[in-house]
Amino acid sequence: MKRETLPVTPHFSSVRASFLTALVSRFEATGTNVQLLLNRTGITVAQLNDPYGAIPLPQFVAFLEAAAVETHNESIGARIGAQLTASDMGPVGIVLSLSENIENGITRFANYANALQEGAETQWIQQGDLMVFTYRLRDSNIWPRRQDAECSLVSLVQVVRDNFKSRWSPQEVHFEHSSPADPQPLERFFRCPVRFSQPFNRFLVDRHTCRSNIRRENPALLAALERHVEDIIGAVAPVQNISESVTAVINASLGISPVTVDHAARALSMTPRSLQRHLAEAGTSFRELLETTRRERAQMLLSQPKARVAQVADALGYADSTAFWRAWHKWTGTAPSDHKRKHR
């Protein structure tokens, strides 16, 4: 039997309309004037009613930010995220929920996240005895984006709790935006320390808590669901090249543990010499990838009003503020404080 071909989705950073529809229903239950929010962000009812439609990512993020203003609730993204279920995430969420354990479930979620939202990077990397889930929007021009970040991490943790372990909690949670006036709602939900003005949105968990089998997988059912997810994406989940793999390790490690060639090689099950050779063949080096990541994240962090240079230096894994100052001056020919003044 010929498999049904799904409608082609335009290639721009976007979120599945069905996911926004799930959010809209939660907002309506709180009495929020959803139509006002849709009008403000240029999203039409016709877009929401298309099951395979896509909402441009900037509009989706703007919708959540407008909701925080309209409801006078700076934690609205987290509040709504805590109400979402696996089915609200579509087949990606269902695949996660049917996995035998948390590690496999989040692995599948990270691999297939583009079926739910394009324009974001999601990574699930082992870091010694920890597993690190990282999420960020690629387009740095989409800002502010606090509500999207909090909704994304909160909803994923909630789905894990609903389908695996109700008391499951990360060891630490990081957000790239500045600390809110009241961080306690997030701390209460995650049941762990929450840090702000970090290089990435991510959570760190004990790997052993992710490996206990909760159920027996149904291989045939999961294979069918994964084929459906691949149809939505338009292709099989892409295989990372060596530069992308190393960058993923850097993203998971930055500000948590020393980021070295040896560390990256161990994470990728390679020798340091082999890793360096593969990077050279790709026209790059470990130092170049690390510096590129640090510079990009530094620009983002320093643009935030509450960011302090010492805090940024620590988040990016520098030994002290002086080391970071030297790196920034090498990149830009200016002092970090000059960049902060431009963005006040």
d(CA 250, CA 172): 18
**In contact, 193 and 172? CB cutoff 8 Å:** yes
The confidence score (pLDDT) of residue 239 equals 55
Coil, strand, or helix at residue 305? coil
d(CA 26, CA 37): 14
- Rounded to an integer, the average pLDDT of 180-209 is 96
Mean pLDDT of the chain, nearest integer: 91
Q: Amino acid identity of 288?
A: E
pLDDT at 236 over 70: no
- Rounded to an integer, the average pLDDT of 238-262 is 87
Q: Amino acid identity of 300?
A: M
The structure tokens 């993020």 sit at 61
Domains of the chain: 75-210 (no CATH), 242-342 (1.10.10.60)
| Global pTM value | 0.89
- Rounded to an integer, the average pLDDT of 301-309 is 89
d(CA 143, CA 165): 34
Who contacts 344 (Cβ-Cβ below 8 Å, separation ≥6)?
305
Tell me if the bond preceding 144 is cis, omega within 30° of 0: yes
Express each pLDDT in 317-340 by its tens digit.
Answer: 999 999 999 999 999 999 998 888
Express each pLDDT in 62-108 by its tens digit.
Answer: 999 999 999 999 999 999 999 999 999 999 999 999 999 999 999 99
How many residues make up the chain in this entry? 344
- Rounded to an integer, the average pLDDT of 198-204 is 96
User: Pairing state of beta strands 54-56 and 14-16?
Assistant: antiparallel
- Rounded to an integer, the average pLDDT of 32-38 is 96
The confidence score (pLDDT) of residue 293 equals 95
pLDDT at 7 over 60: no
In the chain, beta strands by DSSP E: 14-16, 54-56, 120-127, 130-137, 172-174, 194-195, 201-206
d(CA 7, CA 282): 35
